[in-house]
Amino acid sequence: MRALEGDQVCMRIFISEGDKVDKKPLYKELLNLLRKEEIAGATVLRGMAGFGAKSHLHTAGLLALSQDLPILIEAVDTQEHLDRVLPKIDAMVGEGLITLEKVHVLRYAPKK
């Protein structure tokens, strides 16, 4: 358990569920990377519709079984820690959007 309280960064990666890297699902590989690199935490959210750089509309509903819904991965850590991991992330992500935003961490710890 590390201390993380104070001004940190939230990285957000917007990709598609069908994206692959080395024939494996990209979002799983990114999650494995973030854990291996000991990023403080990460959450993978699946969208029900959306579009991205290629302006292709992903949608659930009739296409609910589609494997190309949008995926949003959120991870919070220090700028320095994220900077060390970002080149590896960038090398894995093909089409996609990666954003960084400032957040203030109030709590990152288990209860005593």
What is the size of the binding site for a copy of itself (CB under 8 A)? 54
109 is a site residue for a copy of itself (CB under 8 A): yes
Report the distance separating Cα 15 and Cα 97, nearest Å: 7
Nearest approach in angstroms of CB 5 to a copy of itself is: 10
Give buried/exposed letters for 68-95 (b at 16+ CB in 10 A, else e).
ebbbbbebbbbeebbeebeeebeebbee
User: What are 69's two structure tokens?
Assistant: 């819904």
52 touches 96 (CB < 8 A): yes
d(CA 8, CA 15): 23
Site for a copy of itself in 41-100 (CB under 8 A): 41-55, 57, 70, 72, 74, 76, 86, 90, 93-100
Answer yes or no whether residue 20 interacts with a copy of itself by CB under 8 A: no
Taking the complex as a whole, how short is the minimal distance between the CB of residue 52 and a copy of itself, in angstroms? 4
Interaction site with a copy of itself (CB under 8 A): 1, 4, 8, 10, 12, 14, 27-28, 31, 34-35, 38, 40-55, 57, 70, 72, 74, 76, 86, 90, 93-111
